[in-house]
């Protein structure tokens, strides 16, 4: 099936050459170029040059006349590419190639690269809002899935990256269960001006968490806010109860677990200090932080089925 004349004809595939799903499978990316070519899209493979380079490379491709940017890699790579595409009309498509592939799973994009590429011709442009995260006064960065402060970011900070490269998501679970008997610290968090306390705060634009669970079950990329999920408690064992509630889709019924919608989230420096922050499974720094919504900041290619499903879920909420 060919793209209509008004659709992009020239694409750049920005891929992370060290992503777990791509490092040993460049031939799959070459197959993607062929799949896109049969849809009338001339695509060029461009490896990211270094951590943090993908946004700049995306901007360069847009300035050079590229009509479609395709990010191939994990959620971190996709975020980097998106940071270079904010407030442009050039659409972003994604090919999953990372550890958890949260955004791809949220949007029901096939994990197999060539199958994902085969859907590009039938996808629709849609403007979505993004999250903007500023840590300790640094330059803000956008995120499409989630940011977390507290327990999950502490787990990310303790990850052995070589172990993660070998085992993927298993590394997160092993590191997480190693924290079971460690004491936790609570910190203050303000959501649209109302204050709460938590030892883990999840600021989410998606329902999916880590590729396996749904925590923020009211979140959606089509909404113009965050769903913030707050977990209280200084004893790590309490989180086994929370985990069971999440797995059974009953977390909202568990005391100590709070769901709040908001457009601006602020976490000042806690008195205990040293609270980590993660963005889509990658360590981003320590509190203080501010997260806010950037309305309609990014053009994405999404499937008609995803649009219909999300619109129905939002209407029913």
Provide the residue-wise pLDDT of the chain in tens; the chain has 317 residues. 444 446 788 999 999 887 766 666 678 889 999 999 999 999 999 999 888 899 999 999 999 999 999 999 889 899 999 999 999 999 999 999 877 789 999 999 998 899 999 999 899 999 999 999 999 888 999 999 999 999 999 988 887 667 666 766 666 666 666 676 688 999 999 999 999 999 999 999 999 987 778 999 999 999 999 999 999 999 988 988 998 999 999 999 999 999 999 999 999 998 877 899 999 888 999 999 999 999 999 999 999 999 999 999 999 87
Q: Are 150 and 234 in contact (CB under 8 A)?
A: no
- Residue 50: CB partners within 8 Å, gap ≥ 6? none
| Domain map (residue ranges) of the chain | 10-122, 132-295
Integer Rg of the chain from CA: 19
pLDDT for res 15: 92
pLDDT for res 6: 61
pLDDT for res 4: 44
Alpha-carbon distance of 147 to 200, in angstroms, equals 11
pLDDT for res 1: 40
pLDDT for res 27: 81
Instruction: Check if CATH label 2.60.200.40 holds for domain 132-295.
Output: yes
- Residue 147: CB partners within 8 Å, gap ≥ 6? 131, 133, 202, 203, 277, 278, 279, 280, 284, 289, 291
Q: How far is CA 95 from the centre of its chain?
A: 13
CATH of 10-122, one of 3.40.50.10330, 3.40.640.10, 3.30.70.1350, 3.20.20.70: 3.40.50.10330
pLDDT for res 3: 43
pLDDT for res 188: 96
């Amino acid at each position: 099936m060919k793209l209509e004349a008004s659709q992009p004809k020239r694409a750049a595939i920005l891929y992370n050459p060290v992503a777990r799903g791509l490092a040993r499978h460049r031939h799959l990316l070459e197959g993607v170029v062929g799949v896109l070519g049969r849809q009338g899209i001339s695509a060029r493979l461009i490896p990211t040059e270094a951590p943090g380079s993908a946004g700049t490379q995306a901007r360069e491709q847009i300035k050079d006349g590229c009509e479609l940017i395709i990010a191939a890699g994990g959620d971190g790579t996709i975020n980097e590419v998106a940071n270079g595409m904010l407030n442009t009309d050039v659409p972003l498509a994604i090919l999953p190639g990372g550890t958890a592939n949260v955004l791809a799973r949220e949007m029901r994009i096939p994990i197999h690269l060539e199958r994902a590429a085969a859907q590009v011709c039938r996808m629709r442009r849609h403007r979505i809002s993004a999250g903007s995260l500023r840590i300790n006064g640094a330059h803000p960065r956008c995120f499409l899935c989630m940011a977390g402060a507290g327990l999950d970011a502490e787990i990310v900070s303790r990850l052995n990256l070589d172990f993660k490269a070998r085992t993927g998501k298993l590394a997160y679970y092993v590191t997480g269960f190693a924290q079971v008997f460690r004491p936790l610290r609570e910190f203050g968090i303000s959501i649209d001006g109302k204050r709460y306390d938590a030892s883990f705060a999840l600021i989410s634009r998606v329902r999916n968490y880590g590729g396996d669970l749904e925590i923020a079950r009211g979140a959606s990329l089509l909404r113009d806010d965050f769903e913030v999920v707050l977990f209280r408690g200084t004893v790590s064992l309490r989180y086994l109860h929370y985990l069971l509630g999440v797995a059974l889709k009953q977390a909202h019924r568990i005391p100590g677990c709070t769901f709040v919608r908001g457009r601006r989230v602020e976490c000042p420096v806690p008195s205990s200090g040293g609270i980590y922050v993660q963005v889509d499974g990658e360590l981003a720094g320590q509190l203080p932080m501010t997260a806010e919504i950037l309305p309609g900041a990014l053009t994405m290619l999404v499937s008609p089925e995803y649009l219909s499903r999300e619109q129905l879920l939002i209407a029913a909420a």
